[in-house]
Structure 1
Amino acid sequence: MDRHELRNVLLHTGLSPEAFELEGVHEHVPLPPDFWFLRRASDGRWEIGLYERGVHDVRETHDTEDAACRALHQALTGRPAPS
């Protein structure tokens, strides 16, 4: 799964577009006060976490975009990502 597929799946489940941000695919202007994010880390890995009050709180780091997308889907929906 990549960020484009994840965006489509999350929006299809009825999740608010303001609930998440996916680097380069689904970004906010202006920023909501809080949301989950997925972004590429400086070392090339992928980070997911929570943005609150101007601070990015990284909760997990993954080696692949697929693993990060699946982890973010689980965090936002409470269910495993579809295959």
Structure 2
Amino acid sequence: MNRHELAEALTAAGLPPESFQIAEVHETSPPPTDFWFLRPGSGDGWEVGAYERGQFDVRANFDTESDAAQWMLTTLVGQRGLSG
């Protein structure tokens, strides 16, 4: 699963568009007060976490975009998504 597939899956699951931000795929402006995010991390990895009360809280780091996207989908909607 890549970032584009993740955005489609989260939308299809009924999550409000302002509840998540996915780097270079799904970003709202102005940013909402609280949201989940997936973004490139430092180095070659990926970060997934929550933005709350003006702070980014990285909940997990991954080596691949696919692993990060799958973790975010499972965390937010409680299911396994597309493989790949």
Please give the range of the TM-score, normalised by the shorter of the 2 chains: over 0.9
Structure 2: how far apart are the matches of 1:3 and 1:54? Answer: 24
Please give the alpha-carbon distance, in whole angstroms, between the structure 2 residues aligned to 1:16 and 1:75: 15
The aligned counterpart of 1:69 is 69
- What percentage of residue pairs aligned between the two structures are identical? 48
Q: Which amino acid aligns with 1:5?
A: E
Partner Cα distance (2:70, 2:46) in 1: 12
- Inter-partner Cα distance in structure 2 for 1:54 and 1:15: 21
**Structure 1 stretches (4+) deviating beyond 3 angstroms?**
none
Give me the TM-score of the superposition, normalised by structure 1.
Answer: 0.94
The gaps in structure 2 that reach 5 residues or longer are: none
Deviations 1:12-68 (A, max 9, x none): 111111111000000121111101000001211000000012111000000000000
Unaligned stretches of 5+ in structure 1?
Answer: none
* TM-score normalised by length of structure 2: 0.93
Counting matched residue pairs gives 83
- Relative contact order, CA 8 A, sep 6+: which one is greater? 2
Q: What amino acid is aligned across from residue 39 of structure 1 in structure 2?
A: R
1:38 aligned onto 2:44? no
